[in-house]
Amino acid sequence: MKHQSTHFASPEETFDPRSGSFIERVLFNHRFVVIIICALVTGILGWQATKLTINASFEKTLPTHQEYIQNYLKYENELTGLGNALRIAVVNPNGSIYDAHYLELLRQFSDEIFLLPGVDRVQMASLWTPSTRWIGVTEDGLDGGPVIPEGYDGSPASLQELKANVARSGQIGQLIAADEESSIIYMPLLSESATGEALDYAKYSDVLEELRAKYQAEGLEIHITGFTKVMGDLIEGVQAVLWFFALAVVIATIMVFWYTRCVRSTFLVVFASLLAVVWQLGILPTLGYVLDPYSILVPFLVFAIGMSHGAQKMNGIMQDVGRGFDKLVAARFTFRRLFMAGLTALLADAVGFAVLLVIDIKVIQELAIAASIGVAVLIFTNLIILPIMLSYVGVGEKAAQRSVINDIDADNVKKMPALWVFLDKFTQRQWAIGALIAGAVLAVVAFSLSTQLKIGDLDQGAPELRQDSRYNQDIAFMNQHYGASSDVMAIMVKTPDGECSQYETLKKIDALEWQLRQLPSVESTNSLALLSRRVLSGLNEGNPKWYEFLPNQSMLNYITAGAPRGLYNNSCNLLTVYVYLQDHKADTLSNIVNHVEAFAKDNNTDDVQFLLAAGSAGIQAATNISVKAAWYQMLFLVYGAVALLSLITFRSFKAVVVALLPLMLTSIMVEALMVQLGMGVKVATLPVIALGVGIGIDYALYILSITMVGLRQGTSLSQSYLRALNFTGKVVMLTGVTLSVGVITWIASPIKFQADMGLLLAFMFIWNMLGALILLPALAHFLLKPKYISTTKPHAESVL
């Protein structure tokens, strides 16, 4: 990156339009054509952007090449027991469910659900569905009937009968809460509607919310859980994030205006940055991408990066106009000076994003692609179109004058702003030592904390949403009243066709289940083997002495034939073992995974294989494994890429060290911050460090490149640094703050991982900026001395 510090010409000389690079001549000698093309492109992409859809895809968050996920995807359609179902708990706030008014409302509610499109009506269950039955043992065998007694009329007698039926239905803890003050409407969903359309989560969620509102108005209390609701709430949250974008635009605009005090140019910079966002949003649907809760951060980043680069361009033009140049000439000079510099910085950002492509998780890859598109677009909008527009519009007279007043002699320390003088102290020995010791202490403390960094999600409930969100409160209600854990790990057991009920296989499952239940985090399990224990007791008149997994093939075949779906598949070649967990913490999951792996190693045969993993906790375990591997891989790659880029720019290993050490400190501190905030490494936090480092290197590039030019010319470190501060210091600060502001608004996002990302990114942007302004000169004091450079490369620079 070359910041040319020489003035090109004085205002008195006439400007030769044939001067400048080829690109410059092509662009600036056909300014009007460029503007027209830009308008056309904006029109087309703007129209395309209206087609952009927001969706949340579960599968895209999966590491699709991970072994467990491969297993899951292979058998996904066979795993009926993990189907997409909603559970609606209907609470009677006035007490027990044996209340005529409550039951009438429940009946209406249940009927409405039954009629909703996409509901699997055969499997749907509530107190009112005919499938909810009681069973009793009699001398002649089994007897039973619907729990709602025949001729139910809401009278005390029929309520009493209902209560007795519920008691012997075995549904307490399943469809009816243990305290009998609420009951469940179980609502399995078909993955496709009758017409073959995929389930629209957002729409479904809206319908459920309407129903919730309706029946809460009637005096009931409603809790809804299920994957569809999580997705619906997520999409709703993403839509809320659009308001944060507006807020970020307003704040960034105010900041740029505060910096320039020029309405015209501030407007242009905001306009160019928004143009970049529009183009980017237009390109996404053109290439077939949608915006998801992860990639929605990209428009924020693109806008913020655009603002900082735009401000830099405008700063140059303003100074040239202030020195008396015509606005066109000023624009061309600025383009000449800063195009390559801007390009290098944007390419550095792009490298930071591109590194994310190696991670085998689609949302992260799409985020990387979207961000790369955004950065590419910025090259046009902010490096080309913005100067051309400025060449037409010009800048405010007063602001231009003001910018030159600030444009003071770099060598005259007394005229420097106090902040520059303060920062310059870090080029002196004492202050440098102090800064480095402070940095080292921070690094040691942060590092010792960061060793506790956990992989995975650490909170209860749906990790995508906040702990106190409506949904997670509903989950807590379900866990408390129905004892049903929402964290399920499903182990798939593959057998030859038709042999899912073989004794040898079920015996292994039975043993595995009991082993797993000994693990402290396992709440309960379920499988065909466990069912056979229960059913055997039932078949023997309910006598508990028959509670056993019987080594009798014909009995097992008989039990299998009558088993509910979900424990094995239609072709009887896949069994599912469900393990219900207390939580989905990384340690919990790895414990289970390790146990099952060891068991599978001892027990797998050519015919029968124990395969991990399905269910929310199984997917999470697989994701954790991938994320853990990707974390180090990504750190290695992003630092490698950034180091290479710095080496090319500075052509000095020591300079690379000076540029990278502050970034590393920030990376370690982010890990420590994550430990402090109880955040784990997960799909959402994975890209943060890559983005932070990729963008963070910009600061070092801006400051160090100008400092290096000075040093190579033989000026002292202090003078070189002051000159760099004067040229780009303000812009670096503006960039740091603008970027932070661009993402900090997310802390208010209803989506937990967005709030986490916003906080971590804002932290990284600010600390990287401080590192570049404080640690960089301190490190340079020890590593980059003008003497050193002039002895190794005597007069090399001045010759060039």
Q: Which residues pair with 192 in a beta bridge?
A: 198
Joined tokens for residue 196: 């073959």
Cβ closest to another protein, residue 507 vs residue 785: 507
- Pattern 529-568, binding to another protein, x per CB under 8 A? ----x------xxxxxxxxxxxxxx-x-------------
Considering only residues 426 to 445 of the shown chain, the ones binding another protein according to CB under 8 A are none
- From the CB of 590, what's the least distance to another protein, in Å? 20
Binding of another protein at residue 515 (CB under 8 A)? Answer: yes
Q: Residue 221 class from Cβ within 10 Å (0-12 exposed, 13-18 middle, 19+ buried)?
A: middle
Scan for tokens 């023997």, then name that residue: 540
- From the CB of 612, what's the least distance to another protein, in Å? 18
Contact at 8 Å (CB) between 453 and 675? yes
Cβ closest to another protein, residue 24 vs residue 510: 510
Contact at 8 Å (CB) between 276 and 369? no
Cβ closest to another protein, residue 430 vs residue 552: 552
Cβ closest to another protein, residue 421 vs residue 550: 550
Q: Which of 243, 392, 422, 514 binds another protein (CB under 8 A)?
A: 514
Joined tokens for residue 691: 């983005």
- Pattern 459-498, binding to another protein, x per CB under 8 A? ----------------------------------------
Cβ closest to another protein, residue 219 vs residue 498: 498
- From the CB of 167, what's the least distance to another protein, in Å? 8
User: Taking contact as CB under 8 A, which single stretch among the options 49-57, 500-508, 564-572, 683-691 is the one that binds another protein?
Assistant: 500-508
Binding of another protein at residue 635 (CB under 8 A)? Answer: no
- From the CB of 769, what's the least distance to another protein, in Å? 53
- From the CB of 685, what's the least distance to another protein, in Å? 35
Cβ closest to another protein, residue 21 vs residue 543: 543
Q: How far is CA 563 from CA 208, 328, 340, 410, 560, in A?
A: 31, 81, 70, 84, 5
- From the CB of 605, what's the least distance to another protein, in Å? 6
Scan for tokens 């209406």, then name that residue: 108
Cβ closest to another protein, residue 502 vs residue 754: 502
Q: Which residues pair with 90 in a beta bridge?
A: 183, 222
Write a three-state SS string for 657-710. HHHHHHHHHHHHHHHHHHHHHCCCECCCCHHHHHHHHHHHHHHHHHHHHHHHHH
Cβ closest to another protein, residue 109 vs residue 610: 610
DSSP designation for 489 = E
Q: Which of 12, 13, 139, 150 binds another protein (CB under 8 A)?
A: 139
Joined tokens for residue 224: 């809804």
Q: How far is CA 336 from CA 27, 35, 648, in A?
A: 12, 19, 21
Cβ closest to another protein, residue 13 vs residue 497: 497
Cβ closest to another protein, residue 511 vs residue 770: 511
- From the CB of 94, what's the least distance to another protein, in Å? 23
Binding of another protein at residue 603 (CB under 8 A)? Answer: yes
Q: Which of 14, 194, 606, 799 binds another protein (CB under 8 A)?
A: 606
Q: Give me the phi and psi of 7, to 5 degrees please.
A: -80, 140
- From the CB of 544, what's the least distance to another protein, in Å? 5
User: Taking contact as CB under 8 A, which single stretch among the options 81-89, 406-414, 509-517, 744-752 is the one that binds another protein?
Assistant: 509-517
Query: Residue 773 contacts by C-beta under 8 Å, 6 or more apart in sequence?
Result: 423, 699, 703, 725, 729, 732, 733
Binding of another protein at residue 507 (CB under 8 A)? Answer: yes
Q: Which of 58, 271, 477, 503 binds another protein (CB under 8 A)?
A: 503
- From the CB of 70, what's the least distance to another protein, in Å? 25
Query: Which secondary structure element, helix H or strand E, spans residue 397, and what is its range?
Result: helix 397-406
Write a three-state SS string for 183-252. EEEEEEECCECCCCCECCHHHHHHHHHHHHHHHHHCCCEEEEECHHHHHHHHHHHHHHHHHHHHHHHHHH
- From the CB of 226, what's the least distance to another protein, in Å? 29
Cβ closest to another protein, residue 16 vs residue 139: 139
User: Taking contact as CB under 8 A, which single stretch among the options 125-133, 504-512, 577-585, 752-760 is the one that binds another protein?
Assistant: 504-512
Tell which residue, 230, 201, 629, has the closest CA to residue 463: 230
Q: Total residues contacting another protein (rule CB under 8 A)?
A: 37
Scan for tokens 């598109």, then name that residue: 373
- Compute the distance between CA of residue 206 and CA of residue 321 in angstroms, rounded to an integer: 55
User: Taking contact as CB under 8 A, which single stretch among the options 154-162, 177-185, 234-242, 601-609 is the one that binds another protein?
Assistant: 601-609
- From the CB of 134, what's the least distance to another protein, in Å? 13
- Compute the distance between CA of residue 456 and CA of residue 48 in angstroms, rounded to an integer: 37
Cβ closest to another protein, residue 227 vs residue 610: 610
Contact at 8 Å (CB) between 464 and 232? no
- From the CB of 622, what's the least distance to another protein, in Å? 25
Contact at 8 Å (CB) between 620 and 517? no
Joined tokens for residue 234: 């997520």
- Compute the distance between CA of residue 205 and CA of residue 239 in angstroms, rounded to an integer: 14
Most distant CA pair in the chain, distance = 114
Q: Which of 605, 640, 653, 788 binds another protein (CB under 8 A)?
A: 605
DSSP designation for 77 = G
Contact at 8 Å (CB) between 455 and 628? yes
Binding of another protein at residue 414 (CB under 8 A)? Answer: no
Q: Where are the alpha helices (DSSP H) in 118-197?
A: 156-167
Considering only residues 746 to 775 of the shown chain, the ones binding another protein according to CB under 8 A are none
Cβ closest to another protein, residue 448 vs residue 543: 543
Considering only residues 146 to 205 of the shown chain, the ones binding another protein according to CB under 8 A are 167
Binding of another protein at residue 609 (CB under 8 A)? Answer: no
- From the CB of 493, what's the least distance to another protein, in Å? 13
- From the CB of 472, what's the least distance to another protein, in Å? 28
User: Taking contact as CB under 8 A, which single stretch among the options 6-14, 367-375, 505-513, 764-772 is the one that binds another protein?
Assistant: 505-513
Cβ closest to another protein, residue 546 vs residue 782: 546
Query: Residue 418 contacts by C-beta under 8 Å, 6 or more apart in sequence?
Result: none
Query: Residue 66 contacts by C-beta under 8 Å, 6 or more apart in sequence?
Result: 360, 622, 623, 625, 626
- Compute the distance between CA of residue 714 and CA of residue 790 in angstroms, rounded to an integer: 7
Q: Give me the phi and psi of 493, to 5 degrees please.
A: -120, 110
- From the CB of 611, what's the least distance to another protein, in Å? 16
Q: Which of 35, 73, 100, 137 binds another protein (CB under 8 A)?
A: 137
- From the CB of 581, what's the least distance to another protein, in Å? 15
Chain contacts with another protein (rule: CB under 8 A):
136-139, 167, 499, 502-504, 507-508, 511, 514-515, 517-518, 520, 533, 540-553, 555, 602-603, 605-606
